[in-house]
Structures are given as structure tokens and as C-alpha cells.
Structure 1
């Protein structure tokens, strides 16, 4: 099989534990770029050892963050870009389906599906993870959010690509497998929850018409984040309605972590309102 006409972009910061497994699966892609935010754990050397191009990135607040910065400032030699996180691993099934999908398509982007690994177990149930992370270069950017430094997140996390054209889907799953442990999981979601509080406050003020550009799912979430029942409803939806209980202890703990995440957001919203 000839190389896929895709540039894989992997945003990183201290991903030494995850990156080797991620990069080892990417030999079928035309280009692999690692966009790094000053890692101190050998991430950049690991990337070079695997033949990836290393691009240094420093965020000073505001727009753009890492993914949009790459799209706006780097010259792509392929018609497609795939954004992978360092803790994501493509499979042979994914590569084969991707090659077939790109061979003759009028789509400008593809939804991707993921298998979550948690506490050493594959989670087969619960709410599935899905991202629009593969699209034609030039078809669009991640939504513009003016973040003056609400958290230390220098990469688009909750922002979504806004594309012009038809969107397809790749059914074969990408493995989401983070080797950095529970401590990192909790710290990361603490940053995410802080970001969500500030983003919600910005949307409630809505001085730039941002609310109208949200998807129906985003609007539902931001309307409910400050409600006392939302974290519990999310837990019940994940663990009961979506049968997360069938994943045993890992499924329970994962659902509880998500409950804690949304409960933290509620408490931070209340604190922010009091201030």
C-alpha cells in the first residue's frame, strides 16, 4: 500500500510514556509532525528517533492555540490532516478503512471513533468517544475561542473543527490508552473543568454571538452545567443507560470520575458566581 496522503499532527507536552506506542503505528502516513510545548521528559528526542518532524510551540495566551496555530502557520504537503493525541494508537483496521475512504471521496472530514482503556481494561460500554479529527487541509479551523489564560491548556481540547462541506465517518476504532496513570487523569480533568467554567461564563455573556455557532449538543451541555442534577444524570446515563456496569470495577470508577468532573464544574461555577 502506498503512503496515505495524510499528515499526522500530534500535539505533545511530556508524552514520553505514551509517544513510542503512538508513533510506532504511523509508518503508513506520508508525514508525521510532533508539535511540542517544551517537554522536559525526552518527548522531542523520542519523536526524532521515530522519524517525526518536531515543531516547537509556545503559547502566550489568546488565539490561536496549538492545533489552529499549526493549521495557520505550517505548510502541508498532503491534502489531509489527522490530529492524534500522544495517548492514541491507530490500528491496522483503521488504516485499511481510512485508505479505502480517502481513495475516492467528496467528504471534507471524517468523524473518528475511539476505544477507551481505563485501569488496564477496555471499556466496551458507557458513552462512546467520538471526535472530528481528520479533515482536508484548508476546509476549516477549530472554533475560535478567545482564551486569555483560563488554565494552562495550550491546545484546543473542547473546541471543535468547523468545516465547510460533507462529513463522513470511519468506523474502525482508535485506541485511547494513557500510560500516565490516575494522578495525571485527575490533574488533567481539573484543568479541563476550570476551562469549562470560564468558557461557560463567556458564552452566557455572549458578546460575540458565539452561542449561535454552538452545536445542539454543546448548547444542551452549557445550559445544564450549573444544575445540581447534571453530574448525577451523566453518571446514570453512562453507568446505567449505556451499561457501563458491564465493564466491572473499571466501568464504575470511570463513571465516578466523570461524575466528579461535572460535580467539580458545578462547584467552580458557584464559586465563580459568588466572586
Structure 2
């Protein structure tokens, strides 16, 4: 009798010892665990080993290169299922059950699955403003998915059909608004660099998939010509993306996203954010 397919959990970390223990505790029931460590913190590697995970050390790189390197070097055969996880994420019990059930009954043509994330700022789950469902390719067959650098985050390209899991991850995204501000400042620099390299310094268009193909070219042109893109971003997230569902927090997050847009444009205008 053949052995049913399993899942290997791969956690990407860089000096995140405070998050790693609970993360691995949540992933243990899914399958064997690997921790890909890019930092110099010895305690992080020790925490991983105590939790029963194997550790792979890789040099620090952008998110896409790191994911590709980890998948290439994992000592598992091509086609084996891998679940990619970050240290500040948790796999709820219902998602773990769905993952195991999915890989045991998925046809060969399906090579990856998107997974939603419940993003938390402090003690609150953020429901609107583009923070939900925040789907990303996480359950993938080794050798059938590659990641490409997109400035702030890596984007995945799958060689085959892609499905979606129903149960979400839990993401402890930000400790508080101050932590979010720190991330936004760093993301502005990365966004400016990405816009300069990939878009010739032009503003990245808003995500307009829901508005239909007919209107997208005109709306993108309007976005480029918009006299106040930071204000447009704020209103887009709070109204069109329903940030109002989160009340005052939703408004603050939308305003800070607009502020990031303003800071990104300021960096571009003064030649900052250039690739080195």
C-alpha cells in the first residue's frame, strides 16, 4: 500500500525568537518542520531544534530569492507538498486539518493553494481596507512554483492550476500603530526602489480587478494624473475597500497608507530608493 502524501512546513525567520516557539507549536500537527534561518541569533536556531524542527541557514536575501533557495535546497523530492510560513503566523487547528485533507486528495494538475490571513493589529483583527482576505500562495508543490521580487513582498508564479483553501492563517501583523509606522517607513523605501526599477518611476496603479477590464486603462491613466494620490489611496482603502468596517482603526490605517504613498513619491522625486 502506497504512503499517503505528506506536507513539509517551512518557516522563514531572521532573529525572531519571540515568535518562533508559538509558530512551530501551531505547525507541528501538519507535518515535519524546517526553519530557514537568515539571522545571527543563535537562540532562534536553538528554539527551532527544541521544537523538533530541522534548521537550514541561508544568507540574507530578498523574500523571493530566499523562498526559491529554500525550496531548491530542501532534501525532499520534487512534487512534495510544502507549506510556507512566517514566524509571526499561526496555523489554527481547522486549517491544519484542511491542509492534511487537501494534500491527500488533490489531483496532480493542482500545484498550489492560496491561503487567506486574518491580520491583527494589537488585539484586533482588521476586516477591511485590503487587510482581508489577504490571500497568498502558501501550500505549494516543490518545483512547481517560483517567486519573483516585487519590492515589499514576493509574488508567486505557479506552473499549473491553483486552488484556494477555506480556512485562514492567523497573522500577528503589528504589535500596535507605532510598529505599523516603523514598517510603513521601511516599505516606502522598498516601494520607491521597485517603482524606479520596474515602472520607470511612475506610480504603481491601484488594484482595479473588480472594476472590469473595460474601465481599467482609463482608471490607470486617471491614477497617474491624479493631483493627490495620497488622498486617493486613503479614500480608496477606507471607502472602496471598506476600511470603515474597522471604525477609527480603519481610518488610521488608511491615512497611514496614504502617508506611505506620499513618502514614496517624495523619495522618488529626490532620487532616493535607487537600487544599489
TM-score (norm 2): 0.78
CA distance in 1, matches of 2:42, 2:220: 36
Pairwise mapping of residues 159-238 of structure 1 onto structure 2 (< 5 A)? 159-178=154-173, 181-204=176-199, 228-238=227-237
**Contact 1:140/1:162 (8 A) holds in 2:** yes
Alignment CA distance shift 1:28-1:63 (3 Å): closer
Deviates more, 1:163-172 or 1:74-83: 74-83
* Greater C-alpha Rg: 2
Counterpart of 1:73? 73
**C-alpha RMSD of matched pairs (Å):** 3.4
C-alpha offsets along residues 112-145 of structure 1, whole Å, 9 cap, x if unaligned?
1011111321112221211112211010211267
Residues 1:8 and 2:9 are matched in the alignment: yes
Counterpart of 1:261? 260
Counterpart of 1:244? 243
Pairwise mapping of residues 15-34 of structure 1 onto structure 2 (< 5 A)? 15-34=16-35
Counterpart of 1:48? 49
CA distance in 2, matches of 1:172, 1:63: 24
Instruction: Give the alignment partner of residue 134 of structure 1, picking from 123, 139, 150.
Output: 139
Q: Which runs of 4+ in 1 moved over 6 A?
A: 61-64, 219-223
C-alpha offsets along residues 155-196 of structure 1, whole Å, 9 cap, x if unaligned?
x85221111110000121111114655444333333322222
CA distance in 2, matches of 1:115, 1:274: 31
TM-score (norm 1): 0.78
Deviates more, 1:28-37 or 1:229-238: 229-238
C-alpha offsets along residues 29-59 of structure 1, whole Å, 9 cap, x if unaligned?
2221111122437222221221111111213
Deviation of 1:205 (Å): 5.4
Counterpart of 2:270? 271
Question: Which structure 1 segments of 5+ residues have no match?
Answer: 146-155, 207-214
C-alpha offsets along residues 249-274 of structure 1, whole Å, 9 cap, x if unaligned?
33222223322222221211111289
Counterpart of 2:212? none
Secondary structure in 1 matching 2:190: helix
Deviates more, 1:245-254 or 1:128-137: 245-254
Secondary structure in 1 matching 2:113: strand
Alignment CA distance shift 1:43-1:159 (3 Å): same
In the alignment of these two chains, the number of paired residues is 254
Secondary structure in 2 matching 1:42: helix
Question: Which structure 2 segments of 5+ residues have no match?
Answer: 202-206, 210-215
Deviation of 1:245 (Å): 2.1
Alignment CA distance shift 1:6-1:230 (3 Å): farther
C-alpha offsets along residues 40-85 of structure 1, whole Å, 9 cap, x if unaligned?
37222221221111111213x6897311111222322571111111
Alignment CA distance shift 1:143-1:84 (3 Å): same
